[in-house]
Structure 1
Amino acid sequence: MDTGATTAKTYISETDPRARILAAVAFAIVVVNLHDLRALAAALVVALTLMLMARLPPRATLKRMLTMDGFIIFMLLLLPFTVPGDAMFTVFGLPATWQGLRQAIEIGLKANAIILTLMALVGSMEPARLGQALYRLKMPEGLVYLLMFMVRYVDVLQQEYLRLRVAMKARGFRPGNNRHTYQSLGYLIGMMLVRAVERSERILGAMKCRGFSGRIPLSGDLAYARSDAGFAFAFGGILAALVALQFLR
């Protein structure tokens, strides 16, 4: 699965995964509590800088960001019409307010800054490295295993889905707003669930044949270095600057 990880060594990739996870969580907490648009714009600039430092492919990364924005765009478009305040203009008698527009921009900046930072700091890790880091951060083992299997096999299930869609098209299926389409999509979802269960049983059998006893070794060789302390200090300074910008008038 393409997780955005890069094989080239960068300052981000050389930083301890635990420090990167903690930095991403701290950044998300700070940004969620910011309300000043200047501070939020600065947070987005920080996120874009991290993307460049991690050497994520800009085109593919921004395409993923647009996919995420597609889920919230309708909510953002409706906010100016649902938040009371000073009217900018009216559409079919419904006033769009400046306060609603500001809230929509605020939410958009927060969402993009946080997701982009997570992709740069956490999404650029190899799945096994991410699992080791979460385990060393005392996350529940079951949750870590679930995350690692999901990252490993979500691409397998996607390929299975694409094969089923090709088979449907080969049989003349053309989606539309009718009962046959909904029924066919229901069969598709049901077949995906059946094949996922069958594949999970085969994987479990294969793992038991290899001596799986319910636990996966996740200790790894992680160790904090002096550069990690520098990263934590610099990132803490950035977060402090964002908080200070919040209170500057």
Structure 2
Amino acid sequence: MIPEAFADGKSVIHSIDPRIKVVLALIYSFVVALSSSFVILLSSLVTSMVLVMVARLDAREVLKRLAVLLGFILLIWMLMPLTYPGATLFRIGPVAFSSPGVILAAQISLKSVAILLSLMALLATMSVATMGHALGILGIPDKLVYLLLITYRYVFVMEQEYQRLIRAMKIRGFKPGTNLHSYQSYAYLVGMLFVHASARADRVSKAMKCRGFTGRFHSLWQFEPDPRNRLFAVIMSLIIILMTTVELWIQTIHS
């Protein structure tokens, strides 16, 4: 099973209604992604860091997830300043670094980190089953919700099946290379994965029906009214409105 490192906790954010967290995470990420002024981007980064601290997430787990993103950000910093056209900011020998490229790389970096931290604080603090239940209540089509839940439940099973097939190929002496035999072997591997996935899906469907599945998943989470929900929603809404207003004001000044 894919671990849910942040789902179990007793912080204020863990106790907030999942529906509110899903909606706020979507709107907040949308506002941050569309912002371009460094004032707003730095403010969003600080806000996201505060959310992570309020959620009391394990620092090591947070850094592990950030490390994956930082690899992508490093690639952006290696390419953007060198390939983006515009005025030269500085040179290192014959290599010129453009000012617009550096600015764009910095904007992408701040946006990416701020959004990832906010998603860890707002969405990762609930289980996938609870998130699916919240999405269903918010009006997301049931089939999409079921697809999310079942994919999450069985994607690791297919990974185990893939590893089993790879071990079987190695036991039979398979050595990958750039030749027709290797390409055929990998094609057979993908085909067998689809065959096994189809067979397992059929067995799972029959097992669920035998256990009385009627097309609806139920969650143990009870969405009850709580003053903290309203307070958190109001605070986050004010922050989002303030960020949007300041961003529009800055854009108006520059235009």
TM-score class, shorter: 0.7 to 0.9
Specify whether residues 193 and 61 from structure 1 end up closer, same or farther in structure 2 by C-alpha distance, changes over 3 A only.
Answer: farther
- Supply the AA of the counterpart residue of 1:164: L
CA contact (8 A) 1:17 1:125 kept: yes
Aligned to 2:6, what secondary structure does the other structure show? coil
CA contact (8 A) 1:136 1:219 kept: no
- Gap regions ≥5 residues in structure 2: none
Q: Distance in 2 between matches of 1:8 and 1:143?
A: 27
Aligned-pair CA distance for 1:42: 2.4
Return 55-64 or 170-179, whichever deviates more: 170-179
For residues 29-68 of structure 1, what are the structure 2 equivalents within 5 Å?
Answer: 29-68=30-69
Partner of 1:14: 15
CA contact (8 A) 2:13 2:122 kept: yes
- Supply the AA of the counterpart residue of 1:2: P
Q: Distance in 2 between matches of 1:93 and 1:180?
A: 46
Identity of aligned residues (%): 38
Specify whether residues 134 and 43 from structure 1 end up closer, same or farther in structure 2 by C-alpha distance, changes over 3 A only.
Answer: same
Partner of 2:121: 120
Aligned-pair CA distance for 1:238: 2.5
Partner of 1:197: 198
CA contact (8 A) 1:17 1:133 kept: yes
- Supply the AA of the counterpart residue of 1:153: Y
Return 122-131 or 213-222, whichever deviates more: 213-222
- Supply the AA of the counterpart residue of 2:79: L
Return 158-167 or 86-95, whichever deviates more: 86-95
- Supply the AA of the counterpart residue of 1:7: D
Aligned to 1:102, what secondary structure does the other structure show? helix
CA contact (8 A) 1:6 1:55 kept: no
Q: Distance in 2 between matches of 1:209 and 1:215?
A: 14
Q: Distance in 2 between matches of 1:152 and 1:17?
A: 20
Q: Distance in 2 between matches of 1:182 and 1:90?
A: 45
CA contact (8 A) 2:7 2:124 kept: no
| Pairing 1:27–2:31 present | no
The Cα offsets for residues 110-166 of structure 1, whole Å up to 9 and x where unpaired, read as 122112211221122112211211111111111111111112112222232333344
| Pairing 1:4–2:38 present | no
Partner of 1:236: 237
- Supply the AA of the counterpart residue of 2:231: G
Partner of 1:107: 108
Specify whether residues 103 and 216 from structure 1 end up closer, same or farther in structure 2 by C-alpha distance, changes over 3 A only.
Answer: same
CA contact (8 A) 1:27 1:239 kept: yes
| Pairing 1:135–2:136 present | yes
Specify whether residues 76 and 188 from structure 1 end up closer, same or farther in structure 2 by C-alpha distance, changes over 3 A only.
Answer: farther
Aligned to 2:140, what secondary structure does the other structure show? coil
- Supply the AA of the counterpart residue of 1:104: A
For residues 152-171 of structure 1, what are the structure 2 equivalents within 5 Å?
Answer: 152-171=153-172
RMSD: 2.9
Q: Distance in 1 between matches of 2:110 and 2:183?
A: 36
Return 15-24 or 127-136, whichever deviates more: 127-136
TM-score of the superposed pair, with normalisation by structure 1? 0.85
CA contact (8 A) 1:48 1:116 kept: yes
Aligned-pair CA distance for 1:16: 0.4
Partner of 1:188: 189
Q: In the comparison of the two structures, how many residue pairs are matched?
A: 249
Specify whether residues 146 and 184 from structure 1 end up closer, same or farther in structure 2 by C-alpha distance, changes over 3 A only.
Answer: same
- Gap regions ≥5 residues in structure 1: none
